[in-house]
């Protein structure tokens, strides 16, 4: 895997030695499927835990210094362990729904201009590819959905970045029938 990815462990704390504790691990994996998530922080509230992470800076150092800022916190996520098998569950915080427009943005299958920020919903019964033109230079972001394989692939190869993060596609496995 990616040496810069952030992982997670779930399990049960057990007594160990004299007054010690150890984690009996039930599940382990990547905390985030993207290449730009690290240094997570968790806020424990009544009845839920909210997690944020830091996102890498994609601009070169000179550009970031001219702008006066670098990097960004991710959107908050609700995290918990599945009561059945103990695996990690992660979902966008419900408060994020308040940021969505009252009416969805709908486009025909041509190169219609996108707003600055948007949610992308792709519904597919068979392999489907959606390419989004991200700049006048022709840089694209491609999303491939393959229900038969149970994968969603985010390919930013047409939006190249320099540096150690590379441009390899990110493949996320999804359960059959997932939206």
Low-confidence ranges of the chain (pLDDT < 70): 1-4, 34-35, 58, 104-118, 133-138, 159-167, 176-179
**Two structure tokens written together for 55:** 């996102």
**Two structure tokens written together for 175:** 């359960």
Q: What is the pLDDT of residue 113?
A: 63
Nearest to 52 by CA among 71, 25, 28: 71
Q: What is the pLDDT of residue 134?
A: 64
Q: What is the pLDDT of residue 177?
A: 61
Q: What is the pLDDT of residue 178?
A: 59
Q: What is the pLDDT of residue 6?
A: 82
CA distances from 166 to 4, 5, 35, 39, 143 (A): 12, 13, 9, 20, 17
Q: What is the pLDDT of residue 80?
A: 92
Q: What is the pLDDT of residue 146?
A: 92
Distance CA 81, CA 31 (A): 13
């Amino acid at each position: 895997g990616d040496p810069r990815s952030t992982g997670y462990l779930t399990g049960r704390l057990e007594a160990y030695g004299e007054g010690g504790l150890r984690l009996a691990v039930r599940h382990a994996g990547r905390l985030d499927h993207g290449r730009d998530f690290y240094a997570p922080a968790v806020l424990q509230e009544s009845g839920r835990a909210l997690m944020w992470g830091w996102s890498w800076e994609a601009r070169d150092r000179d550009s970031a210094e001219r702008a006066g800022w670098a990097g960004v916190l991710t959107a908050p996520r609700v995290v918990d362990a599945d009561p059945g098998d103990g695996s990690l569950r992660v979902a966008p915080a419900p408060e994020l729904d308040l940021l969505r427009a009252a009416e969805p943005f709908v486009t025909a299958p041509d190169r219609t201009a996108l707003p600055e920020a948007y949610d992308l919903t792709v519904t597919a019964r068979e392999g489907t590819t959606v390419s989004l033109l991200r700049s006048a230079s022709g840089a694209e972001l491609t999303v491939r959905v393959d229900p038969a394989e149970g994968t969603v692939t985010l390919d930013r190869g047409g939006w190249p970045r320099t540096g150690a993060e590379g441009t390899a596609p990110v493949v996320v496995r999804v359960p059959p029938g997932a939206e």
